[in-house]
A and B are shown apart, each in its own frame.
Chain A
Amino acid sequence: MLIKNSRFGPGGVRPSEIAPKDVWLNRRELLGNAGFGLAALAAPAALWPRVAHAGRKLEDLVKSDWVVDDVLTPLEDITTYNNFYEFGTGKDDPSRYAGAFKPLPWSIQVHGECEDRGTIDYEDLIGSFPVEERIYRFRCVEAWSMVVPWAGVSLASVLQRFRPTSKAKYVAFETVYRPEEMRGQKRGFLDWPYVEGLRIDEAMHPLSLLAVGVYGEELPNQNGAPVRLVVPWKYGYKSIKSIVSITFTEDEPPTTWNRQAPHEYGFYSNVNPERPHPRWSQARERRLGGGLFARKIPTLKFNGYEKEVASLYAGMDLIEHH
């Protein structure tokens, strides 16, 4: 059965090796046909009204050991259920309106506390560094989650090219500001441009990824094309999209949601089932793709990456530094 085939162990089988794209696309339908009665209530891809995207295939993807064992979230869900307020606050706004955004050509400016300030453009990024396919859990602060086969380059390897100095204690990121192409930016419900940040050791952690693709193809606009951050042990809003600027800083940089509601969203924003958000208990999460009758599943500390990242926070009170 397909559902069995699409679980891969830590050995790292690429989704692109398992099934052609049309099979991913029809995964839910296959689930339904296979007699998973309740799963059949989930949206069959064939009936989905909007075509997600037709992305360019990424060549020479490298296998990675960073893969989780969970069932992949269908591409439709990944590309039609997005929080990307630059295109509007509805979950379907990004897939509906991101077509106006023209990501390429693209370059990222790198500045601040480093010896080789400069820019890196998109082609350089995917040409100079190995583009790995990694399967990460993705947990939103709103208590839903996905399992995404990203394609991307290690953030650490990119950052090291610019030779951060000893003063570089943090890394700040900034999203592009193009209100003409991003209709949500014409309205002021967030303080544009969107900014995020990591501590330098978080940014240098091997799990931190600059993603350029999903399911073996270039990132759709609604998922943060052409380059976005993915930090899988933190809530989704830390994984800033459509990055145009990276700055090494000595002080903790401001972050958009923290500015918006400091009590609700801290700088660290590590996934933590023990620290409830004022509106969402973080103890459990809804894994998308499960259909109407699937139960929520328990949320894991650091989103299941405790073994890999807990040492970054040794001795820290993770409730206070949420």
Chain B
Amino acid sequence: MARAATVLRPGFGWLKAAVFLAALVPFGMIAAGAWSGDLGANPVETLIHHFGDWALRLLLATLAVTPLRRLTGWNQAVRLRRMLGLFAFFYASLHLATYFVLDRSLLLEEILDDLTERPYIMVGFAAFVLLVPLAATSTNAMIRRLGGRRWRALHRVVYVAAAGGVIHFWWLVKADVREPLIYAAVLVLLLALRLPSVVPFLRALPGRIRRRPAPG
């Protein structure tokens, strides 16, 4: 039923397919690097950082969909949101799996030690755990089962998870916080665009620009 209600504009299927393929590019590139043995002196670290970077980027891309939709009035964009979110989860899972299997060799004692002693790992792991129920309830069937209101409430957890991801990165860095700072700034911006006082302004912005009289 929900499917039938949404009418795709012509060409949207192609856009979705293109975004799907684009989101797979980081995976393809690193897989090619691993295959040719071109991951540098510390290949495990290269993999972990790569997957972590892309998890965070795609999470922020997911959070950018709603502000973009409000700003542009392009409501179809919301149809990309689930896919972006699931790709963020995909990369976060690879990030975690690489850490567990390749970095820690599945040594439970070491993993528990990290999870209890190292704040950056605690907050990163918590962020991942928060993403799990979101990924699990991403299907149409689950949306119907939960009901829109409860589903939306649950999925607000993504804000906390994104903040956790940024803090995880920030705390990992030894001295130069420039890069985590960029992620933090983007996150703060995306959250600020959701403030009730900002949303109407965002919605009105395109119209206001159009209505502005052309300079004489």
- The interface of chain A, by Cβ under 8 A from chain B, is 28, 32, 40-44, 47-48, 76-77, 80-81, 85, 89, 91-92, 144, 187, 189-190, 260, 276, 278-281, 283-284, 286, 288-289, 291-293, 295-296
Contact = CB atoms under 8 A, between A and B. Distances in A.
A91 B40 contact: yes
Interface in B8-53: 34, 36-45, 47
A278 B118 contact: yes
A42 B43 contact: yes
A286 B44 contact: yes
Interface in B111-129: 113-114, 117-120
B106 to A, nearest CB: 10
Contact of B176 (A81, A89, A276, A293): A89
B41 A43 contact: yes
Contacts of B120: 279
A47 B47 CA distance: 18
Interface string B74-112: 000000000000000000000000000011010000100
Contacts of B177: 189
A147 B121 CA distance: 29
Given A281-B113, A295-B105, A43 B42 contact: no
Contacts of B43: 41-43, 291-292
Given A85-B175, A281-B114, 7 more contacts: A43-B37, A43-B41, A80-B41, A85-B176, A189-B178, A291-B43, A292-B43
Given A281-B117, A295-B105, A89 B175 contact: yes
Contacts of A76: 41
Contacts of A279: 118, 120, 171-172
B174 interface: yes
Contacts of A286: 42, 44-45, 103
11 contacts: A41-B37, A43-B41, A47-B37, A85-B176, A89-B174, A144-B45, A187-B176, A190-B175, A279-B172, A286-B45, A288-B41
Contact of B40 (A92, A190, A260, A280): A92
Q: Report whether over half of chain A's contact residues are helix, strand or loop; otherwise say mixed.
A: loop
Nearest to A146: B41
B55 to A, nearest CB: 19
Contacts of A85: 175-176
Contact of B110 (A260, A283, A292, A293): A283
A28 B39 CA distance: 13
Contacts of B110: 281, 283-284
A81 B175 contact: no
Contacts of A291: 37, 43
Contacts of A292: 34, 39, 43-44, 47, 102
B82 to A, nearest CB: 32
Contacts of B47: 292
A77 B42 CA distance: 8
Nearest to B173: A89
B42 A81 contact: yes
A223 B21 CA distance: 41
A47 B172 contact: no
A280 B34 CA distance: 25
B125 to A, nearest CB: 14
Interface centre among B103, B113, B174, B177 (most CB of A within 10 A): B174
Query: Which 4 residue pairs spanning A and B have beta carbons closest together?
Result: A81-B41, A77-B41, A89-B176, A189-B176
Contacts of B44: 286, 292
